[in-house]
């Protein structure tokens, strides 16, 4: 009978040890298991960018953009969009690596377009009034 009691105590100790090990290894930091924080998609767009903008069948213009985070988790402001001046901005909406520039008027110029972030660059295609433009922006 002593032998079976010793065996039961050993089993209890073994089970307790396994539970303790399981508990210790399952206690990863909370932030390691959490999805990325809201707004993190737009972080890659934020900063100062040198843009080379081309109008279809026209000249290329080089200018600087400044992109900041604003308001909700997906919104950015693109200052000096279409080289319209630093105090003016286009509102952009970011999802993943994609950018949507919804229809809006900046200094009486109608803007609408899209963009994509790839390899540390932003490639945008948009219209400004009746002109079709593309821009490649890099830091």
**Domain check: are 16 and 60 in the same one?**
no
CA distance 31 to 41: 17
Q: What is the pLDDT of residue 113?
A: 98
What is the end-to-end Cα distance of the chain in Å, rounded?
A: 78
pLDDT band at 56 (very low <50, low <70, confident <90, very high): confident
pLDDT digits (tens, 9 = 90+) for 89-113: 999 999 999 999 999 999 999 999 9
Q: What is the pLDDT of residue 37?
A: 52
**Domain check: are 9 and 49 in the same one?**
no
**Domain check: are 44 and 80 in the same one?**
yes
Do the beta carbons of residue 66 and residue 80 sit within 8 Å? yes
**Domain check: are 15 and 70 in the same one?**
no
pTM over 0.75: no
Average pLDDT, integer, range 129-138:
96
CATH for 77: 2.40.128
Please give the distance of CA 117 from its chain centroid, rounded to a whole number: 9
pLDDT greater at residue 88 or residue 40: 88
Closest CA to 137 of 71, 47, 55, 75: 47
Q: What is the pLDDT of residue 72?
A: 82
CA distance 1 to 4: 5
Percent of the residues in the chain that have a pLDDT greater than 70, as a whole number: 72
**Domain check: are 46 and 28 in the same one?**
no
Structural domain total, the chain: 2
Percent of the residues in the chain that have a pLDDT greater than 90, as a whole number: 65
**Domain check: are 54 and 17 in the same one?**
no
**Domain check: are 28 and 49 in the same one?**
no
- Which of 3-7, 75-79, 98-102, 119-123 has the weakest average pLDDT? 3-7
Say whether pLDDT at 45 is over 70.
yes
Closest CA to 52 of 83, 98, 88: 83
Q: Which two tokens stand for residue 93?
A: 């909406």
**Domain check: are 73 and 20 in the same one?**
no
Q: Which residues form the domain of 16?
A: 2-32
Up-side HSE of residue 94: CA atoms within 13 Å toward CB? Answer: 27
Q: Is 133 helix (H, G, I), strand (E, B) or coil?
A: strand
Phi, psi of 80 (to 5 degrees): 70, 25
């Amino acid at each position: 009978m002593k032998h079976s009691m010793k065996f039961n105590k050993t089993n209890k100790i073994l089970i307790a040890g396994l539970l303790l090990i399981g508990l210790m290894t399952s206690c990863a930091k909370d932030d390691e298991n959490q999805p990325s924080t809201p707004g993190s998609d737009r972080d890659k767009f934020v900063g100062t960018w040198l843009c080379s903008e081309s109008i279809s069948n026209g000249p290329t213009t080089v200018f600087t953009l400044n992109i900041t985070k604003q308001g909700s988790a997906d919104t950015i402001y693109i200052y000096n969009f279409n080289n319209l001046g630093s105090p003016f901005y286009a509102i952009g909406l970011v999802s993943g690596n994609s950018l949507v520039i919804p229809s809006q008027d900046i200094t009486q110029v109608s803007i609408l377009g899209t963009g994509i972030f790839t390899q540390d660059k932003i490639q945008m295609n948009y219209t400004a009034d009746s002109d079709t433009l593309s821009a490649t922006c890099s830091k």
